[in-house]
């Protein structure tokens, strides 16, 4: 692992990475490295216990929550949206199922359509981000729009679909989505440092997200994202807690074997080697699974975490800048030779 730490150091110097990386093999041996500042203004450095926002990386948590409800027979993957969520969607197809929402094949309109916008900050020009504190607050942004495609027709990455899944969890359990995940996933997995924290109430040792501007100045991302995360993204984790999440998922602490296998099945093909399961990306070459992985990007956030089944290795890279996590993850994979 010393070789890996040296490789990460070299990669960091090339991309000015700010964040924390952790790679852990099947024996529990780990390589870790932290760079940059959790708070630039106060000179507080990032460290192994720093909490980072992970943007869409937490869609996996939403998928696990849904799978738990299926295990409890409160839902099935074939349950239709109109039968499990008592909210009016005038233009939505009656054929949308939970499976479609989990696999980004529902065809529902997205509140952030990457075909139309390329800057997430544009969303909050007419809609103050500090008003977005619950899942229902997102509904006016897509609830009355037209379908983009027929359910099951094609894969199209979709944040609004995961907002709907979170609302389904809330209706089925009577709990706020974030509270459900913290109690039924984070606690069970031993993720004691993780949570859905509001920007205006961050706990200690939480990294602020930084946006570096072309002129060399910078700003934090507090006006660039919803004030509190939810079912499509925005949780905070430590790298060690993400290792615990993978171990808990694969070890049967969160779901039974049948549900784990369903979650990790390549349900939708994205490209030649890329597939999507339930809340998780899957890289596959012929019949071999190379890795299960999650990732997240927001202004001031970049995140990658993966499990490599052949090597039984877990790697996580959290950054409080808009880019950099991918470069460090690539270095880890090349050094450990865990990805073809």
Task: Give pLDDT tens digits for 71-110.
Answer: 999 999 999 999 999 999 999 999 999 999 999 999 999 9
pLDDT band at 50 (very low <50, low <70, confident <90, very high): very high
- pLDDT value of residue 280: 98
Give the torsion through C-alpha atoms of 226, 228, 229, 234, to 10 deg: 80
Task: Give pLDDT tens digits for 178-235.
Answer: 999 999 999 999 999 999 999 999 999 999 999 999 999 999 998 888 889 999 999 9
Residue 312 has pLDDT above 80, yes or no: yes
Mean pLDDT of all residues belonging to the chain: 93
Per-residue pLDDT averaged across 41-67, rounded? Answer: 98
How many domains are contained in the chain? Answer: 1
Per-residue pLDDT averaged across 245-268, rounded? Answer: 98
- pLDDT value of residue 115: 61
Per-residue pLDDT averaged across 250-270, rounded? Answer: 98
Task: Give the relative orientation of helices 59-71 and 239-250 as an angle to the nearest 10 degrees.
Answer: 30
Task: Give pLDDT tens digits for 17-34.
Answer: 999 999 999 888 899 999
| DSSP state at residue 97 | B
Task: Give pLDDT tens digits for 101-145.
Answer: 999 999 999 986 656 656 656 665 566 556 678 999 999 889 999
pLDDT band at 297 (very low <50, low <70, confident <90, very high): very high
Instruction: Write the CA distances from 225 to 89, 129, 131, 229, 309, integer angstroms.
Output: 25, 6, 11, 9, 34
- pLDDT value of residue 219: 95
Nearest alpha carbon to residue 282 among 295, 296, 265, 303: 265
* Phi–psi pair at 339, nearest 5 degrees: -135, 130
Task: Give pLDDT tens digits for 151-190.
Answer: 999 999 999 999 999 999 999 999 999 999 999 999 999 9
- H-helix or E-strand containing 284? strand 281-285
Q: At CA 265, angle to CA 143 and CA 68, rounded to 5?
A: 60
Buried b (16+ CB within 10 A) or exposed e, 96-129: bbbbbbbbbbbbbbbbbeeeeeeebeebbeeeeb
Its domain, for residue 276, covers: 2-336
Cα(193)–Cα(241) distance, integer angstroms: 7
Q: What is the CATH number of the domain that holds 167?
A: 3.40.710.10
Q: How many CA atoms lie within 13 A of 204 on its CB side?
A: 1
- pLDDT value of residue 111: 81
pLDDT band at 289 (very low <50, low <70, confident <90, very high): very high
> Which residue is associated with the tokens 């852990």?
24
């Amino acid at each position: 692992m010393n070789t890996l730490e040296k490789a990460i150091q070299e990669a960091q110097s090339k991309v000015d990475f700010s964040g924390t990386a952790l790679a852990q093999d099947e024996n529990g041996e780990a390589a870790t490295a932290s760079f940059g500042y959790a708070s630039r203004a106060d000179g507080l450095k990032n460290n192994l216990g720093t909490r980072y926002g992970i943007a869409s990386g937490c869609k996996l948590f939403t998928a696990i929550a849904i799978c738990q409800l299926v295990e409890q027979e409160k839902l099935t993957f074939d349950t239709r949206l109109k039968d499990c969520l008592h909210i009016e969607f005038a233009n939505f197809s009656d054929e949308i199922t939970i499976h479609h929402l989990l696999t980004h094949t529902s065809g529902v309109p997205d509140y952030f359509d990457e075909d139309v916008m390329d800057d997430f900050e544009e969303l909050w020009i007419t809609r103050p981000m500090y008003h977005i504190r619950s899942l229902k607050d997102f509904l006016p942004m897509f609830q009355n729009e037209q379908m983009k495609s027929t359910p099951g027709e094609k894969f199209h990455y979709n944040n609004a679909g995961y907002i709907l899944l979170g609302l389904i969890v809330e209706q089925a359990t009577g709990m706020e989505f974030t509270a459900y995940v913290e109690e039924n996933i984070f606690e069970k997995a031993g993720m004691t440092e993780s949570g859905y924290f509001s920007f205006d109430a961050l706990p200690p040792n939480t990294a602020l997200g930084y946006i570096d501007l072309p002129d060399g100045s910078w700003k934090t991302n507090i006006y660039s994202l919803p004030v509190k995360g939810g079912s499509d993204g925005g949780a905070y984790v430590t790298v060690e807690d993400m290792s615990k999440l993978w171990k808990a998922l694969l070890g049967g602490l969160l779901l039974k074997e049948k549900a784990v296998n369903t979650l990790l099945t390549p349900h939708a093909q994205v490209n030649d080697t890329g597939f999507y399961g339930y809340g998780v990306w899957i890289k596959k070459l012929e019949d071999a699974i190379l890795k299960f992985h999650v990732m997240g990007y927001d202004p001031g956030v970049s995140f990658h975490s993966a499990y490599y089944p052949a090597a039984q290795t877990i790697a996580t890279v959290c950054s409080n800048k808009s880019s950099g996590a991918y470069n460090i993850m690539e270095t880890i994979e090349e050094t450990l030779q865990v990805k073809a």
